[in-house]
Amino acid sequence: MKMNTRITWLAALLLFLPMAGSFASPAQTIAHRKVICIDPGHPSEVGRGTEGRHVTEMQVAWDVGCDLAKALRAQGYEVVLTKRSEGQFVKNRRRAEIANAAHADLMVRLHCDANSGTGMAVYAPDRQGTSGGVRGPSPQIIARSQVAARVFNAAAASVLGKELRDKGVFPDTSTAVGAKQGALTGSICSRVPVILIEMCVLTNPNDERFISSKRGHTLMVSALTAGIEAAVK
C-alpha cells in the first residue's frame, strides 16, 4: 500500500512538471516584449538640423520622441532612446549601434524636412551603401525596412487624415546624403529594420504651426504610435 502511494505521487509529479515549464516567468515575459529604438534627430556630424520661424527640428524631434516613448511604454513596448537630452551630440553611426545593441524590432528616426513642400514622408533603404568603411545594410534588413516603411506609412497617414499631407514612402537615395552614399549612414550601419520619418516640412509655416501646436503634437504622437504598432506586427 505504501509503495502504491509513492508511485501515485511520483506519477502526479511527472505529470505536473511539463505543465510547470509551460508557464513563462516574469523575466521571460519581458524578454519577449517588442523593442523600439527612437532616434530623435540631431545634433550629429551633419549639423543641428533645420529651423522654422519659431521651433527647431532638434526641439520638435526631441519633444515628439519623448512623448512617443511614453505612449509606447504605456502599450507595453520596451523603448530605447539614442540620446539623453535634446542637445546631446550623437553621430549617426553611434545611433544605429545603440539600436543594434538593443536588438530593436524597429528603429524609428525622427526628423523634420526643409523644402518648399508640405507633409509627412517616410524613408527606408532600398540598396546597400558605404559610409566610413562600413557597407550595409544587409539584403534582409533592406527588405524588412521596406515592408515596415509601407505598413507604417499607411497606418500613420490614416491617423493624420487631412490634418497633414501624406507624401508617401521614398528610398534613402532620395535624400542628399543617401544619393552620395547609396543609403543614409543610420541605415548603412543598422542591423535592425530602420525607417526615417520627416514628420513635416518645418520651413512651411502651416506645417510648423501644426507640429508646434498642442493638437498637432498630440496627433503626431498618435500617428507615430499607430504606425509603429502596425509595422512591428
CA neighbor of 219 nearest in space, from 164, 154, 148: 164
- Sign (positive or negative) of CA dihedral 163, 168, 169, 170: negative
81, 65 in Cβ contact below 8 A? yes
53, 9 in Cβ contact below 8 A? no
Does 28-232 carry CATH code 3.40.630.40? yes
The CB-based long-range contact list for 98-102 (8 Å cut-off, 24+ gap) reads 98/37, 98/39, 99/37, 99/39, 99/190, 99/192, 99/194, 100/189, 100/190, 100/191, 100/192, 102/35, 102/37, 102/78
User: Within 10 Å of residue 48's Cβ, how many Cβ atoms?
Assistant: 14
Q: What is the band of 133 on the pLDDT scale with cuts at 50, 70, 90?
A: very high
Q: Is the pLDDT of residue 164 over 50?
A: yes
Q: What is the band of 103 on the pLDDT scale with cuts at 50, 70, 90?
A: very high
Average pLDDT, the chain: 90
The better pLDDT of the pair 157, 5 is held by 157
Cell of 36: 523600439
At residue 23, the pLDDT reads 33
Three-state DSSP at 15 gives helix
pLDDT tens readout for residues 50-83: 999 999 999 999 999 999 999 999 999 999 999 9
pLDDT tens readout for residues 26-55: 333 444 689 999 999 999 999 999 999 999
For 129-175, where are the alpha helices, taking DSSP H only? 139-160
Lowest mean pLDDT among 115-119, 167-171, 201-205, 225-229: 115-119
216 burial (CB, 10 Å; 0-12 / 13-18 / 19+) is: buried
Q: Dihedral of the CA atoms 52, 53, 56, 62 (nearest 10)?
A: -100
Q: Is the pLDDT of residue 3 over 60?
A: no
Domain ranges of the chain: 28-232
At residue 116, the pLDDT reads 86
